[in-house]
Chains A and B, each alone.
Chain A
């Protein structure tokens, strides 16, 4: 197995607070890797560093062997590294469908001249993107609200829209930041099913931050436990759940 994401000795401090402390993790290609840890362990910071939203102080991040340290998020997107946000982000003034249609890269309409010179091609591509967006929106069960402004959707629906975004393009690695938080149980089942299906059929690799242990147990193998900015343990969920160190980190000393 090869590591598609390779984080090497990364450090990051906010002022005097060292949030990531010589942290190294590997995410194997084709896996659904879980990233758990108590609040303040540095999970989201690590995500932001990998996704290019936050510059790191020292260390290195590799995507499939290629150095992507401090590359901007939009560049990583085109390399197939996608992310969702802990607090769901959406283009509030566009409809749910338009939100999805923003995603696919390298559309002909992106070039201003094409809009004027090759209107047919732009229109064809637009129609195809719309078809795909409609498929995705059916898939995530938001068909009935597709023409609502995304800003008016509920928190859970926005989370689903986030997942939908990652399905609009051929991703290699998707970073999911607490995708289940605020999503009801029934939808959660669908969500987990969708993630598994994307992993199996499309070959997406997932790195998942989650507080819902049930979801982690069902979805992730292996699981990485982060505490105080570095890796505490790593392994199958059963081993993690019975590890006294982990229990201590979560619940304090008994």
Chain B
């Protein structure tokens, strides 16, 4: 039973954490793609920016969280989301809109977004420094240890407060997005624009508004993902940047342009990573008596932890061969 708890802690919880972060990030990437038809490489740095805003606000109002019993960074999250949305809309106005107005090819937009990435990274480093910083200022990270009511189970299931908040926020985001896209007229207009922008305009839909709304949503989601990631570990100016490729893998695996696909893809990639680095021989230990010793002692992980980053690419290659449009057959919301 201790082995099972170990499995839950190291695979189920760790996979859900990674999967949630990837999913929230990938939703933003996929929404931007479905509306503006380009891969937005600066998305990870928008996540970092959101986390940095949360860090700054936490430093300015250190006691705010204690009043409601949540980490201060979570209390500041709505404000950080607002600032990140404003940044996203601002970046669009300053860099992407002029390109769009010239009717450039999507690849030019992609290269433009790489430029924005470099610029944002530089700016954030300039103000935050290059080291890691905890988002818990004068606070303690709450850790829940759930002991299981079984005999001779010593190890508890361990989950931290930011992880619980992450799970809750992921569910809220997914449900909120679903209601928004399927019920509200603005959401339907987004679907319409991703399907056929010319017809959307001819149907009286203001496509500039839709673009702005897309950036607001993508910015808000990026801030959530970045802040929760930094709460789970620590804030670093390049923390989210290293997630860029798995997030793109998640978006493509799910079917790029398809938000539900992005959610599924996020969890597929997240769980694949944790399952691939998990040492499966641990689960064999209870049956150690009837199995050869070398098997029980062996490291049965598929890849070493340091090679975790290659896992999304194996999935990506498999998906591109086997189902090139992704799990959900993406392209249109």
Residues on A lying within 8 angstroms of B by beta carbon are 51-53, 72-75, 77-78, 82-83, 85, 89-94, 98, 102-103, 105, 107, 109-112, 115, 165, 169
User: B191 at the A/B interface (Cβ < 8 Å)?
Assistant: yes
For the complex, what is the distance from the CA of A105 to the CA of B203, rounded to whole Å?
A: 8
For the complex, what is the distance from the CA of A52 to the CA of B207, rounded to whole Å?
A: 13
For the complex, what is the distance from the CA of A85 to the CA of B184, rounded to whole Å?
A: 27
For the complex, what is the distance from the CA of A103 to the CA of B332, rounded to whole Å?
A: 19
How many of chain B's residues touch chain A, expressed as a range?
20 to 34
Residues on B lying within 8 angstroms of A by beta carbon are 180, 183-186, 188-189, 191-192, 195-196, 198-207, 332-333
Question: Chain B nearest CB: distance from A51 CB in Å?
Answer: 7
The answer to whether A92 and B204 touch (CB under 8 A), given A102-B188, A109-B184, A115-B183, is no
Chain B interface helix/strand/loop/mixed: helix
Question: Chain A nearest CB: distance from B145 CB in Å?
Answer: 39
**Count the A-B residue pairs with Cβ separation under 8 angstroms: how many?**
78
**Residue contact B198 to A89, C-beta cutoff 8 Å:** yes
Q: Which residues of B contact A75 (CB under 8 A)?
A: 206
**Residue contact B204 to A91, C-beta cutoff 8 Å:** no
The answer to whether A74 and B199 touch (CB under 8 A), given A102-B188, A112-B184, is no
**Chain A: CB-nearest residue to B333:** A93
**Residue contact B195 to A92, C-beta cutoff 8 Å:** yes
Chain A interface helix/strand/loop/mixed: loop
**Residue contact B195 to A93, C-beta cutoff 8 Å:** yes
For the complex, what is the distance from the CA of A158 to the CA of B207, rounded to whole Å?
A: 23
**Residue contact B203 to A77, C-beta cutoff 8 Å:** yes
Q: Can you give 9 A-B contacts (C-beta < 8 A)?
A: A53-B201, A73-B202, A74-B202, A75-B206, A89-B199, A102-B203, A111-B186, A112-B184, A115-B184
Top 6 nearest A-B pairs by Cβ distance? A77-B204, A109-B185, A89-B199, A73-B201, A110-B185, A91-B195
**Residue contact A89 to B204, C-beta cutoff 8 Å:** no
Q: Which residues of A contact B192 (CB under 8 A)?
A: 91, 94, 102
For the complex, what is the distance from the CA of A89 to the CA of B333, rounded to whole Å?
A: 17
For the complex, what is the distance from the CA of A110 to the CA of B209, rounded to whole Å?
A: 11
**Residue contact B195 to A165, C-beta cutoff 8 Å:** no
Q: Which residues of B contact A169 (CB under 8 A)?
A: 204
Q: Which residues of A contact B207 (CB under 8 A)?
A: 72, 74
Question: Chain B nearest CB: distance from A57 CB in Å?
Answer: 16
**Residue contact B186 to A77, C-beta cutoff 8 Å:** no
**Residue contact B185 to A103, C-beta cutoff 8 Å:** no
